[in-house]
Structures are given as C-alpha cells and as structure tokens.
C-alpha cells in the first residue's frame, strides 16, 4: 500500500467516523421526540481501480419494522373506537344517575310515589295535591332533560365526525406533498429520514380516524388503503366526504343512506360504518363515533322512550281513572295526547303532565284526587283515585321490548332496570377500553424497542466511533511522520 493510499484510507475513515458521530448524537438528542425513528449510518467499501480505497457512507437508514407498525396502528384504531364508545356510554349512564342519587330518574319516581302516598293519607290537603303535581312535573322534566341530552351526545358525535373527516383530508394532502418531497430527495441521494418521520406522524393521525394499510411504492413513496380495500391515497389524495347535521333529533337516522343523517364516502364509494356496503370501515375513531350516533346511544334513547311509554300507559287506563274515555290521555301525556306505540321514537322528550291538573296551565290540582277529567271536585276525604294511582305505579306489567326487560316490572323497577342497563353498558365499554389501551400501549412500547433510540447503545457507539476516529488520526500522524523523514533524507 502506498503512502497516498494509506492517507486516503485514513481520511475516508475520519469522514465516516464524523458522520457516524453526528448521527449518534442526533439520535441521543431526539431520544424523547415523539415520532422520531432511530437513524443508522450505512457504510460501504470504497473501491478505486479494483483496489480498496477506504470507506464511504452509503446512506442513512431509518429504523423501521413494518409488520409491528401495522399491528400497532390496528391497535390504535381499536383504541380510538373504544374511547369514543366508552366516553359516550359514561355520559349516558351519568345522566340517569344512580339509585341513591337525589337527582336520578329512579329518585324522581320514588318522589312521585311518596307524594301520592302522603296525599292518600290526607286527600283534602291542597299542598299535598300540589306536591303530587310538582313531583309529576319534575319526573316528566327529568325525562325531557335526559332525552335532550342523549340527542346532544349524538349531535356531538356527528360534529366530531365532521371534524375528524376534515383532519383526515388535510393529513392526506400533506402526505401527498411529503411523498413528492421524499421521492425527489431520495432520487438526489439526500437524507429524507426527517421527512419520513413527519409522514409517519400524519399516517398515524389518519389511521386513528380511519384504519389504513401502508403500501410502499417506488422512490420511497407510499399509498394508503383501508383494510376493506378503499384507497385514501393512490398517488394523489382522495377526498373523504361527510356532511354534518346542524342538529340531530330523535327521529333522525342514517338508515343505510335513506335517512336524514349523512354517511361516509370516498369519491362515491360508501364506507359508512354499519352501512349496507361491503367496503364499510369497522374501526377507528370515526367508526366509533358512527356507532355512538347510530347504535349505542339510540338504543339507550329507545329504552328511555319505552320507559316513558310505560309511565304514560299506567295512568291512561279508564280502570285506573274512571273519568277518562278510551283514548283519553291520563296524568302523563305525549305532548298533550295519549300514548301511541307507533309513535314511540322521541317520546321521552315529549312526555309532560296533563294540563288539566297543572295550575300553571289553567288546570286544577284537586283532579289528582278526583280524576284527571273530573268536572267538579269530589268528596274532600275520598282517597279511592289516589290509591288507584299508587296501585298503577306499584303493579307489575309487561314493558316494551326496547326496555330489554327480562320480565314484568312495576314503575320504579322499570327506572332501576334502565339505570342498571346503562350502567352495565358503561362498565362493559370501560372494560373494553382498558383492554384496548393495554394492547395499544404494549405494541407502542414494542415498536419503540425496535425503532426508537436506546441512549445506552448510542453512547457505546460514540465510544467505538471515538476509537475509530483516533485510530484513523494515528494513521494520518504516522503518514505525516514518514513524509517528514523522507523530506529529511
């Protein structure tokens, strides 16, 4: 080996060591940076005229594990779905309250029955008659409030879908732009790892909303496709389409695209979660929000309507109130009318106390003692009608299927059953969320072990790099000494 060859070899070694030191120090600096993937320097033998000429930096590689990343993304999408569902079911359950909660629906039932029992003991008491009316109005208002809140949860989900869709479309546009920059950079032999980190973060954001699979294309570019086979990015970004509703009411549904609420599509391809097509998505935050809007909350809303239907029906039977004709509304009404099983949807939001017993609307409180349609007051001490009202509340009877009751219930048992139904659904959703969170976290940590920065390892690399640098430096020093001696001859 000639002196010039030795000098060139050592110089290339210094260059490679310097580059390796820079990459290692950058790894350490970004050890806690979210979304940063470890960089490694790829070295290659440099050959000139068939002879070794030192070492060259072949490129900077970014640590990846595609299989593990895909598995982690699927877990993240599942976590996003379960988070949306658990949050909604917690709100649903909290609105009903617990049996011991003084503002719970169950307690409102108990207050009404207690007021009726007190009146039965002193039927001529106007204050006690008013107390029954007030308790009945309070119960109806509780139904109204909960029903309205359920629709608000659905409306919030619908708006959140719109926001998520906007975020997905924006991220897809940015990924398309990064694809171009990465392709150009790779073609020019540049370091595109930082751009790939940015792209990965954007893909993670898209995946949280709509699960995607990454397809690698030429030049480092990628396409994105849903697990069901719909491209969100194929060279150019596709547009995800959704139209948020200004207000979601109990009678508004998706109905496979035939209802008033919007579905989800990608340039004409229907991907609506729960929709009739074969390309519908089933995971991710958007699917979870659709599930809240179209399934879980409507199911609980229907159960609430069934409970309201049960309450109205208990007091409109002429056998309970002889002053009523068949078809007349009783103590509680559907917006002034009798209950109708064919008009159950949204009933909890329309239930109200019959104006005939409400002084605030021109009624008379003595009618809770003598009958809702009584024309004149009856005997002041008569408790027959009041006790019939109490019996109507305490009697067990079949409930509508929407209440999901395993058997006959009295009025208070119906309220308790609804609370238990919501509480069970909330507990189940929270349990599922815990499992999804644990899986997502474990896969995240496994991925970081493969692609993240181990500072101990990087520090060890720096020590090795330092030794390599020192060795090449000594070669140069030796060459310098040899040249000096030759010059002295």
Alpha helices in 188-279 (DSSP H): 193-209
Structure tokens at 212: 């995607």
Report how far residue 213's alpha carbon sits from residue 198's, in angstroms, rounded to the nearest whole number: 17
Report how far residue 411's alpha carbon sits from residue 399's, in angstroms, rounded to the nearest whole number: 10
Task: Label the pairing between strands 332-334 and 269-270.
Answer: unpaired
410, pLDDT greater than 70: yes
Find the mean pLDDT for residues 304-316. Answer: 96
How far out from the chain centre does Cα 5 lie?
64
| DSSP letter for each residue of 170-214 | HHHHHHHHHHHHHHHHHHTT---HHHHHHHHHHHHHHHHHS--EE
Give kind and range of the element (H or E) at residue 158: helix 126-187
For residues 296 and 84, the answer to whether their CB atoms sit within 8 Å is no
- Residue 420, pLDDT score: 94
Give kind and range of the element (H or E) at residue 337: none
How far out from the chain centre does Cα 154 lie?
12
| Summary mean pLDDT of the chain | 93
pLDDT digits (tens, 9 = 90+) for 434-471: 999 999 999 999 999 999 999 999 899 899 989 988 88
Alpha helices in 37-65 (DSSP H): none
pLDDT level of residue 475 (50, 70, 90 thresholds): confident
- Residue 478, pLDDT score: 80
Cα dist. 339→103, 179, 480 in Å?
26, 61, 104
Find the mean pLDDT for residues 469-489. Answer: 80
For residues 372 and 353, the answer to whether their CB atoms sit within 8 Å is no
Find the mean pLDDT for residues 174-194. Answer: 92
Mapping DSSP to helix (H, G, I), strand (E, B) and coil, where does residue 322 land?
coil
For residues 316 and 324, the answer to whether their CB atoms sit within 8 Å is yes
pLDDT level of residue 50 (50, 70, 90 thresholds): low
Q: Please report the beta strands in 29-141, taking only residues with DSSP state E, as ranges in sequence order.
A: 39-48, 51-62
Residues 6+ apart with CB under 8 A from 125: 119
Strand partners, 241: 265
Report how far residue 341's alpha carbon sits from residue 330's, in angstroms, rounded to the nearest whole number: 16
From 4-18, 320-334, 347-361, the region with the lowest mean pLDDT: 4-18
Mapping DSSP to helix (H, G, I), strand (E, B) and coil, where does residue 60 land?
strand
Q: Percentage of the chain surpassing pLDDT 70?
A: 99
Question: Strand order of the sheet with strand 231-234?
Answer: 213-216, 222-225, 231-234, 236-237
pLDDT digits (tens, 9 = 90+) for 98-145: 877 888 999 999 999 999 999 999 999 999 999 999 999 999 999 999
- Residue 480, pLDDT score: 73
Q: Percentage of the chain surpassing pLDDT 90?
A: 79
From 104-113, 220-229, 467-476, the region with the lowest mean pLDDT: 467-476
- Residue 194, pLDDT score: 92
- Residue 337, pLDDT score: 95
Residue ranges covered by each domain of the chain:
3-63+454-488, 69-439
Cβ-count burial 261-270 (b if 16+ within 10 Å, e if not): bbbbbbeebb
Find the mean pLDDT for residues 425-431. Answer: 97
**Of residues 483 and 156, which shows the higher confidence score?**
156
For residues 447 and 69, the answer to whether their CB atoms sit within 8 Å is yes
Cα dist. 176→180, 221, 233, 266 in Å?
7, 9, 8, 16
- Residue 184, pLDDT score: 93
2, pLDDT greater than 80: no
For residues 353 and 133, the answer to whether their CB atoms sit within 8 Å is yes
pLDDT level of residue 472 (50, 70, 90 thresholds): confident
- Residue 332, pLDDT score: 98
| Rounded-to-5 percentages of helix, strand, coil across the chain | 60, 10, 30
pLDDT digits (tens, 9 = 90+) for 58-108: 888 889 899 999 999 999 999 999 999 999 999 999 999 987 788 899 999
- Residue 49, pLDDT score: 66
Report how far residue 384's alpha carbon sits from residue 123's, in angstroms, rounded to the nearest whole number: 9
How far out from the chain centre does Cα 65 lie?
27
- Residue 1, pLDDT score: 55
- Residue 481, pLDDT score: 80
At 104, give phi and psi (nearest 5°): -75, 160
Give kind and range of the element (H or E) at residue 382: none
Find the mean pLDDT for residues 204-224. Answer: 95
């Amino acid at each position: 080996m000639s002196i010039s060859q030795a000098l060139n070899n050592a110089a290339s070694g210094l260059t490679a060591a310097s580059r390796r030191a820079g990459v290692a120090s950058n790894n350490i600096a970004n050890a806690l940076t979210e979304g940063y993937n470890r960089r490694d320097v790829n070295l290659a033998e440099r050959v000139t005229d068939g002879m070794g000429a030192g070492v060259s930096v072949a490129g900077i590689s970014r640590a990846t594990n595609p299989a593990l990343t895909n598995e982690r993304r699927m877990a993240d999408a599942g976590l996003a779905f379960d988070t949306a569902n658990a949050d909604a079911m917690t709100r649903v359950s909290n609105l009903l309250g617990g049996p011991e909660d003084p503002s719970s629906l169950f307690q409102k039932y108990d207050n009404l029955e207690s007021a009726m029992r007190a009146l039965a003991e002193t039927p001529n008491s106007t204050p006690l008659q008013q107390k029954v009316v007030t308790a009945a109005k309070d119960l109806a208002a509780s139904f109204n409030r909960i029903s309205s809140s359920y629709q608000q949860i659905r409306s919030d989900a619908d708006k959140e879908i719109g926001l998520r869709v906007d975020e997905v479309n924006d991220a897809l546009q940015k990924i398309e732009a990064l694809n171009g920059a990465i392709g150009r950079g790779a073609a020019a032999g540049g370091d595109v790892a930082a751009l790939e980190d940015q792209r990965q973060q954007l893909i993670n954001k898209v995946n949280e909303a709509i699960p995607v699979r990454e397809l690698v294309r030429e030049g480092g570019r990628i396409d994105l496709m849903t697990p069901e086979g719909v491209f969100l990015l194929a060279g150019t970004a596709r547009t995800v389409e959704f139209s948020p509703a200004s207000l979601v009411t109990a009678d508004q549904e998706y109905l496979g695209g035939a209802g008033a609420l919007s579905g989800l599509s990608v340039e004409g391809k229907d991907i609506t979660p729960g929709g009739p097509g074969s390309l519908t998505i089933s995971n991710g935050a958007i699917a979870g929000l659709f599930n809240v809007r179209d399934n879980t909350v409507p199911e609980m809303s229907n159960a609430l309507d069934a409970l309201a239907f049960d309450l109205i029906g208990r007091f409109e039977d002429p056998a309970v109130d002889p002053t009523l004709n068949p078809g007349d509304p009783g103590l509680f009404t559907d917006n002034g009318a009798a209950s109708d099983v064919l008009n159950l949807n949204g009933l909890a939001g329309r239930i109200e106390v019959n104006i005939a017993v409400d002084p605030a609307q021109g009624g008379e409180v003595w009618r809770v003692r003598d009958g809702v349609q009584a024309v004149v007051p009856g005997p002041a001490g008569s408790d027959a009608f009041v006790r019939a009202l109490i019996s109507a509340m305490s009697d067990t009877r079949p409930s509508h299927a929407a209440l999901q009751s395993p058997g006959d219930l009295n009025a208070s048992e119906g309220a308790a059953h609804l609370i238990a139904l919501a509480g069970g659904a909330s507990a189940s959703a929270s349990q599922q969320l815990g499992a999804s969170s644990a899986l997502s976290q474990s896969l995240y940590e496994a991925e970081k072990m493969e692609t993240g920065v181990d500072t101990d390892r990087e520090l060890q690399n720096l020590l090795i790099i330092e030794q390599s640098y020192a060795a090449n430096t000594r070669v140069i020093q030796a060459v310098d000494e040899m040249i000096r001696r030759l010059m002295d001859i």
